Chains A and B, each alone.
Chain A
Amino acid sequence: MRAPEPASAEPIIVMEHVEKWYGTFKALYDINLAVLKGERIVLCGPSGSGKSTLIRCINHLETYEKGEIRVDGVLLGNRTVAIDAVRREVGMVFQQFNLFPHMTILQNCTLAPMRSLGLKKAAAEDRARRLLDRVKVLEQAEKYPAQLSGGQQQRVAIARALCMQPKVMLFDEPTSALDPEMVKEVLDTMIGLAEDGMTMICVTHEMGFARQVADRVIFMAGGAIVEEAPPQEFFTAPSHERTKKFLGEILP
């Protein structure tokens, strides 16, 4: 089920010795991670293990105290210019969708391309309709988020992020807030995206998704990366005790 084209050897995200504290609590320990163009990574681990914090550092929704993060060659520091440049290349999908409730679905999708990329309204709407069609919610374009189901809202959120034509997509537990019957429609959308070669980092507990699309599965615990391996190896022959314990708890 893998996409035909392999991940290229060029890293698009590089994290080196990244550390983060919340006051005296250390949230991230010496994170080193290189993500190649086109690579699909699944991040998993118990709650509070730092997975969300890690991906939120990549687009600077969280600050970090130590280390370096580079996205597509841009060093992410505290300069607004660099942060903006990185955010234009990195799309994010949240657990709670975070659609703008006072705007229609179409307006949700055209706002950032018009404001941040300077697209004209017509061009932005063209692009939005194309992507809404791709995630199969085009017929809802004129509605407001509250009128859509959770699964539809999350697919809109994916389309909204794609409207910026990002090079990387971050998913922060995209199916955790959904009713069970809606999980599949969102996962299918993500699988489609993966098959088109999008670079993706997904924080998720959907191990079926990890098996199907991930190039690498990364297991985190206590703010550190404990283990990383291709899914086949990760699920059949985990090397660390904590990984085994975790898999024993979440796999049927």
Chain B
Amino acid sequence: MGQAEFHFLLVGLKWTVILSAAGFAFGGVAGLFVALARTSGFPALERTMAAYIAFFQGTPLLMQLFVVYYGLALIGIRLEAWVSVSIGLTLHASAYLGEIWRGSIEAVPSGQREAAEALSLRYVARMKDVILPQALRISLPATIGFLVQLIKGTSLAAIVGFTELTRAGNIISNQIFEPLTVFGVVGVLYFVICCPLSIIGAQMEKKFAASGR
């Protein structure tokens, strides 16, 4: 495998990182609202969000990406592949992160909410200053775990013809007939992205544990 081929893989890696970052960032914002809706105390809203989560957790990511790409095209919205994939990943991430964070919000001891209420803190301050910072700590292992899953999940973008890292590897492999080398390198590249995240996550957990309770 020469330099040109390796460079081609790195371009694929760049798209993998962009897709992951977009999916996680937008999915995180949307997921926060999903989590808040799930814990809002309004039954209709909670049930709607539960259905939303059930749908995205109960169907394969591959199918979700497929439906967004071809489904939107069918109703006349033509998007570039990377935009369409980003939307799909965002929806997917919002459901999973929403559910992870719902659990974390509910895991914060009820005395914390009561103390905040007794101090006459309104909903926004109560959530922003008291509940969510604690929920974030609780959710950290699961959140990082999901992010790593999401990065590897971007390989499914190949289904709509998008050339991210895995598809780039496929193309190179078909050209130079060295699948073991090529996919070995592809695997290392994924590992180089994902492994540090796990380590950073573990360090953040430790730091929080020291300052926290």
Chain A interface residues (CB < 8 Å from chain B) = 59-61, 84, 87-88, 90-92, 94, 96, 98-102, 111-112, 115-116, 144-146, 160-161, 164
Contacts and interface: CB of A to CB of B under 8 A. Distances in A.
A132 to B, nearest CB: 16
A112 B114 contact: no
Contact of A61 (B109, B114, B122, B133): B114
Interface of B: 109, 111-112, 114-122, 125, 129-130, 133-134, 137, 208, 211-213
Chain B at the A interface: SS class: helix
Given A115-B121, A115-B129, A102 B212 contact: yes
Given A61-B114, A100-B112, A102-B137, A111 B213 contact: no
Given A101-B134, A116-B119, A116-B125, 4 more contacts: A61-B114, A90-B118, A94-B118, A161-B118
A115 B119 CA distance: 10
Nearest to A96: B111
B25 to A, nearest CB: 24
A112 B137 contact: no
Contacts of B212: 101-102, 144, 146
B117 A61 contact: yes
Contact of B130 (A91, A100, A145): A100
A112 B121 contact: yes
Given A101-B134, A102-B134, A164 B122 contact: no
Given A101-B134, A102-B137, A115-B129, A88 B120 contact: yes
B125 A115 contact: yes
Contacts of B117: 59-61, 87
Nearest to B130: A100
Given A61-B117, A144-B212, A98 B122 contact: no
Nearest to A111: B129
Contacts of B137: 102
Given A102-B137, A115-B129, A146-B212, A160 B119 contact: yes
A100 B127 CA distance: 12
Nearest to B131: A100
Given A87-B119, A115-B129, A164-B119, A98 B134 contact: no
A84 B122 contact: yes
Nearest to B114: A61
